[in-house]
Structure 1
């Protein structure tokens, strides 16, 4: 049951962040471009599994995009809000698909399960 709830939560985040992004009038092409950007952190695995896991996890936790989203909203930065909404949509998509935070074993174990 907890695993299913994590997938559902991810889907809800994906839908909510995507809806907010488009409701604010941001362009679809930027959404598509930014949606895959967080996965560039996988390049950290070129330096080894420990560095890769740290790089991936830093980009794939919700702390940074939520903080930057709130700060961007507070100061009126539409660009920061747009980027963070897509970032959160990416995280939701990953969680919905069962792709979680990584342990330092070459990406084979996540907080969801062993891949």
Structure 2
């Protein structure tokens, strides 16, 4: 999925400056953890599920908007990169607890 998202970004003629600028942007949702682990998990997961970037991708195609397509491809690449590295959707018990298992020690 990561390779397909990067390929789609290249085909959408995206700039690498934009890619570098936005590739980690979904991780700003970690700021939700300042309100506690349950709120943090909800906000983090909201930005790390595929439904939103896929909707943005379809809207981008429908509206013939290359920026929307490029942002969607970057977002999908970020999610795919996270999953490839073992970072899953967060559980309300804490940042290290994910649907793929525990991040860090004892993994």
For residue 85 of structure 1, what is the aligned residue in structure 2? 73
Q: Distance in 1 between matches of 2:52 and 2:12?
A: 21
Per residue, is there more helix in 1 or in 2?
1
Question: Once the 2 structures are TM-superposed, how far is the Cα of residue 37 of structure 1 from its aligned partner?
Answer: 0.2
TM-score norm. by structure 1 comes to: 0.87
Which of residues 10, 17, 25 is equivalent to 2:13?
25
Mapping for residues 1-115 of structure 1, pairs under 5 Å: 13-115=1-103
TM-score norm. by structure 2 comes to: 0.93
Q: Distance in 2 between matches of 1:24 and 1:50?
A: 37
Per residue, is there more strand in 1 or in 2?
2
Q: Higher relative contact order by CA 8 Å / sep ≥ 6: 1 or 2?
A: 1
Q: Distance in 1 between matches of 2:12 and 2:59?
A: 17
Question: Once the 2 structures are TM-superposed, how far is the Cα of residue 25 of structure 1 from its aligned partner?
Answer: 1.2
Question: Once the 2 structures are TM-superposed, how far is the Cα of residue 108 of structure 1 from its aligned partner?
Answer: 1.9
Aligned structure 1 segments of 4 or more residues deviating by more than 3 angstroms: none
Higher deviation after alignment, 59-68 or 17-26: 17-26
Q: Which runs of 5+ in 1 are unaligned?
A: 1-12
Question: Once the 2 structures are TM-superposed, how far is the Cα of residue 72 of structure 1 from its aligned partner?
Answer: 1.1
Q: Which runs of 5+ in 2 are unaligned?
A: none
Count of residues in Structure 1 that have an aligned counterpart in Structure 2: 103
Question: Once the 2 structures are TM-superposed, how far is the Cα of residue 64 of structure 1 from its aligned partner?
Answer: 0.6
